[in-house]
Structure 1
Amino acid sequence: MTEKTTFDRRAFLTRATVGGAAAAAVSTLAAPAIAQESPTINWRLASSFPKSLDTIYGGAEDLSKRMKEATDGKFNIQVFAAGEVVPGLQAIDAASDGTVEMAHSVGYYSWGKDPGFAGGADLPFMLNARGKAAYMYQGGGLDLYNKFLEKYSLTSMPGGNTGVQMGGWYRKEVNTVADLKGLKMRISGLAGKVMEKLGVVPQQIAGGDIYPALEKGTIDAAEWVGPYDDEKLGFVKVAPYYYYPGFWEGGPTVSFFFNKAKFEELPENYKSLMRTAAQASDQNMLAKYDYKNPTALKQLVANGAQLRPFSEEILTAAFTAADEVYAEIGATNAMFKEQVDAMKLFRNDWYLYLQTAEYQYDTFMMIMQKNGKL
């Protein structure tokens, strides 16, 4: 072996060693650099829902899991059920005042504080779940809602949807508007104001107290959610008439409410991940309800539920009453009016479009189902 060959070999080994060390150094430095950009975050989330309502409560757990997995355990959200930190109806307030970093709730729970809160949740006779998603994500609805929420130190993202809800459980049949006069019904918010115009006496009763109130005749009717959640509470045993649709909640959006200051403190990559995880959880909840409700409805009917559609007379009267409520509130609340007007503008095109391919396809498939072809 010549001296030159030996020198070249040594030079090669030296370069390889230096290069390998440099590569190892880069590899070693990579993790701390990423860690500096993605700090460990520990947040608390107050839910408005009990754990027993696994689908709607589960939306918060779904988000928590997605954020933890996407950040390799660096972003942790501890979910607290209704009553564990604050009562369920105070979850939004807890995020607003900084008691917790975020809440999972429905905006209309805070409508009494300001009707504008209902705009991001649902309003009677507005949009179905798909239409609501289109309006919120693509039609500027979420931007309008967050513009309103700024004065309460909040920002939000959609965090679930139940799909159109049922119209509730009734101890007797209601076929006409006259049948609603004096009816004591567990229903609250803007829906309660609409029904009040038809002669209903709205009652605000917590979920756990509805069954005994129906059983004792303290109330005559109650609305809750839909088949899957309603079956858990056993209403069919004490109020057999199950009406539809719940026109006050055609596409109710459950939301993640963030304390605005806390959200703005997050690194940009965490904000982006949160938007992605929230949208995934939003869609996932609707898919769960769509999957579970058909089976639950069949079971309810087997257990004695008597399905009844609201008459066109009742629906028409309620539609007119809803517009009256919007006009009354909008006359003194500009931000509520702005949200209502934006939804109505999109609603017109949305239902015009649904009369074509969607309606015809669904109607034909229902005819095939009725004829035993499916």
Structure 2
Amino acid sequence: MDRRKFLSAGTVGAAATALASPAIAQDVRQWKMVTAWPKNLPGPGVAAQMLADRITTLSGGRIEVKLFASGELVPGPGVFDAVSEGTAELYHAVPAYWGSKSKGILLFGSQPFGLRADEQFGWLYHGGGQELYNEMYGRFGIQPFLCGNSGPQWGGWFRDEINSVEDLKGMKFRTTGLASEMCRKLGMAAEAMSGPAMFQALQTGALDAGEFIGPWTDSALGYQQVAKNYYWPGVGEPSSAEECGVNASVFAELPEDLKQVVRFACESLYNPVWTEYTTKHALALKKLVDEDGVQVRVFPQDVIDAMGAASAEVIEELRSDEDELVQRITESFIAYRDSVGGYMTFADNGQMNARASVMGY
């Protein structure tokens, strides 16, 4: 896909009687969705439009959602505040962008050496995470819902090969969320910026390396043109949940059936979005290697070990955060991670290891 295509910038049916038309029209809510993404960016931009369309369709046109991409109504980093303040009714973004509000928020999106996509959904829906998610975002007048996941993210695009953990010191690296905290502990200069801005920074040398999402989205943004070393595993974000935030007052005023529409629209997209990422990442990676000359490289073990030690420090700091709610969120996350992680040794990990021993993948 040409990266320039997305970097450039409900009709109600005829009523049976004249008396019915005004009643139907009065029941239509017109919502503005602001997003953190360029319009139709493969991955999150596509998922945002899917959510807008699904809410409109499932509501029978009673909620008409119009999507405004990053920069069209507000800048991408401003979507949280726009919904909190009522400038827009809802947004599509990721929790990893809101660490300045509270570091506790970051656990709802991704965690270094943390939860996979299915485990993240499990924590919120079956492990008490949603109640904590609601409590934290309620401070800002937002009702949050998970609505997708990128699956395992990649370690990043590096201009130069990495041979040891020493090579990371002083490196200017784009990342977000708790992965930023992990990287800083390794002596890296972690910088947050948009996906398109990362391309520019890699091209000019303002960045030495950076990670965004994975092969499907990354290749659309053109990173393979400016950095050829593509590293795995992306232990900084074993998954990255996408979220929908709805203005809490607007949500509270909905009739119960429309509240359920919004909830179900988000919940029902989680698996389709995640599996689309997985399917298209696989296809895009093959093209990157076969046609674009990308070198797929694995991080040396000392790098992974150092990242593991740094991430453990990050989680321990959250456990002792001065905010009691952040402490509760962290303890809930740890309890779920450890419980499900122990089971996965026998379940998914066992199956994947067995398949690899026979099939080679």
**Contact 1:119–1:145 (8 Å) recurs in 2:** no
Other structure's SS at 1:224 match: coil
1:359 matches 2:349: yes
Return the offset for 1:52.
Answer: 4.0
Matches within 5 A, 1:231-250: 231-250=219-238
d(CA) in 2 for partners of 1:140 and 1:355?
A: 23
1:268 matches 2:256: yes
The residue aligned with 2:8 is none
d(CA) in 2 for partners of 1:251 and 1:339?
A: 18
Matching residue within 290, 303, 316 for 2:305: 316
Q: Which amino acid in 1 is paired with 2:233?
A: P
Matching residue within 299, 317, 320 for 1:328: 317
Q: TM-score, normalised by structure 1?
A: 0.86
**Contact 2:158–2:230 (8 Å) recurs in 1:** yes
Return the offset for 1:227.
Answer: 0.5
Return the offset for 1:39.
Answer: 2.5
Matches within 5 A, 1:56-135: 56-135=44-123
d(CA) in 2 for partners of 1:63 and 1:201?
A: 35
Return the offset for 1:316.
Answer: 2.1
The residue aligned with 1:227 is 215
d(CA) in 2 for partners of 1:268 and 1:214?
A: 48
Provide, for residues 3-39 of structure 1, a one-character-per-residue CA deviation record: whole Å limited to 9, x for no partner. Answer: xxxxxxxxxxxxxxxxxxxxxxxxx99x97xx78x92
The residue aligned with 1:191 is 179
Other structure's SS at 2:71 match: coil
The residue aligned with 2:359 is 369
Return the offset for 1:175.
Answer: 2.9
d(CA) in 2 for partners of 1:125 and 1:361?
A: 20
Matching residue within 285, 295, 306 for 1:306: 295
Deviates more, 1:110-119 or 1:202-211: 202-211
Between Structure 1 and Structure 2, the one with more helix by share is 1
4+ residue stretches of structure 1 with deviation over 6 A? none
Provide, for residues 317-344 of structure 1, a one-character-per-residue CA deviation record: whole Å limited to 9, x for no partner. Answer: 2122122223334432322222121111
d(CA) in 1 for partners of 2:342 and 2:215?
A: 29
Q: Which amino acid in 1 is paired with 2:204?
A: K
The residue aligned with 2:204 is 216
Other structure's SS at 1:319 match: helix
Deviates more, 1:335-344 or 1:151-160: 335-344
Deviates more, 1:60-69 or 1:262-271: 60-69
- Which of structures 1 and 2 has the bigger CA Rg? 1
Q: In percent, how many aligned pairs have the same letter?
A: 32
Return the offset for 1:360.
Answer: 2.6
d(CA) in 2 for partners of 1:118 and 1:48?
A: 16
Other structure's SS at 1:54 match: coil
The count of corresponding residues between Structure 1 and Structure 2 is 342
Gapped runs of 5+ residues in structure 1? 1-27
Judged with a 3 Å threshold, the aligned counterparts in structure 2 of structure 1 residues 337 and 315 are, in CA distance, closer, same or farther, namely farther
Matches within 5 A, 1:24-63: 39-63=27-51
**Contact 2:114–2:337 (8 Å) recurs in 1:** yes
Provide, for residues 138-192 of structure 1, a one-character-per-residue CA deviation record: whole Å limited to 9, x for no partner. Answer: 1111111111111111111101100010010111222321111111112233222
Deviates more, 1:52-61 or 1:244-253: 52-61
Q: Which amino acid in 2 is paired with 1:325?
A: V
Alpha-carbon RMSD across the aligned residues, in angstroms, is 2.3
Gapped runs of 5+ residues in structure 2? 1-15
Judged with a 3 Å threshold, the aligned counterparts in structure 2 of structure 1 residues 370 and 333 are, in CA distance, closer, same or farther, namely same
Matches within 5 A, 1:160-199: 160-199=148-187
The residue aligned with 2:339 is 349
d(CA) in 2 for partners of 1:301 and 1:222?
A: 19
d(CA) in 2 for partners of 1:153 and 1:75?
A: 20
Deviates more, 1:217-226 or 1:310-319: 310-319
d(CA) in 2 for partners of 1:353 and 1:69?
A: 39
